[in-house]
Amino acid sequence: MQALETTKDAIPLSSENIIKLIEQHLNLKGTSRLPVLIVVAAYNTAQKHLGETVASLHSHNAADSQTGAIGDIEITLVNDDKVITSYEMKDKRVSKEDIDRALQKLSVIQDKPDNYIFVTTDEITSEVQDYACSLYLETNGIEFVVLDCIGFIRHYLHLFHRLRTSFLEEYQKLILAESESSVSQPVKEAFLAMRHAVEGD
């Protein structure tokens, strides 16, 4: 793995090259944890610009009911414990039932987030998107939205273009730090090899 370390003197990858690298890596088997790491890396990298931070990251297999978490990723303001945004990650199509389950979870908690965001690696139907949008008034101001994972990171990298290399380093660090049960060694090595190949072009 040492031989695959990235070249420090390489010209920084463009945002679109980083997106392509991530997209190719997500297409491998055993990558269901990666969308979580993408969102966490995005927040970690832009934390001082956003004034928001990731609350503790739970293990890949821990259910929300076990952890007491509202979603897979919880975002708070820096120096505040109140969850303002909750992310639920899906490697399948988001359904109206998924949104209804989220509503059920939120109905029993006192401090509700401002945003509940589903991020999926699958197709998003207009029916589900419309349903999510329709809940704002019904929930007294909680914004529900369904985003596709690649669209999320594309928008982020172009918005924070100058942070793109820092994002990539943070994302790689998170991948390599994950336990074998969440991200296997072959998936980790594949990312390093793919990045090395892209930077070598």
Q: Identity (one letter) of the amino acid at 119?
A: V
Phi-psi map region of 79: left, alpha, beta (phi>0 left; psi -120 to 50 alpha) = left
Selection from 163, 181, 126, 194 nearest residue 44 by Cα: 163
pLDDT given at position 70? 87
How far is residue 9's CA from residue 82's CA, in Å, rounded to a whole number? Answer: 41
Residue 174 has which token pair?
Answer: 């998170």
**Cβ(40)–Cβ(73) under 8 Å?**
yes
pLDDT value at residue 46? 97
- List per-residue pLDDT tens for the chain, 201 residues long: 444 455 556 689 999 999 999 999 999 999 999 999 999 999 999 999 999 999 977 665 555 555 578 899 999 999 999 999 999 999 999 999 999 999 999 999 999 999 999 999 999 999 999 999 999 999 999 999 999 999 999 999 999 999 999 999 999 999 999 999 999 999 999 999 999 999 986
Closest CA to 44 of 54, 59, 35: 54
From CA 96, how far away is CA 15, in angstroms rounded?
A: 33
Output helix, strand, coil percentages for the chain, rounded to the nearest 5. 50, 15, 35
Q: What is the per-residue pLDDT for 8?
A: 56
- Map out the domains of the chain with their CATH numbers: 2-200 (3.40.91)
Three-state secondary structure of 95-155: CHHHHHHHHHHHHCCCCCCCEEEEEECCCCCHHHHHHHHCHHHHCCCCEEEEEEHHHHHHH
Sheet arrangement for strand 83-90 = 52-54, 73-77, 83-90, 115-120, 143-148
Nearest-angstrom CA–CA distance, 89 and 96: 15
- How much is the pLDDT for 83? 94
Nearest to 146, CA basis, from 109, 93, 110: 93
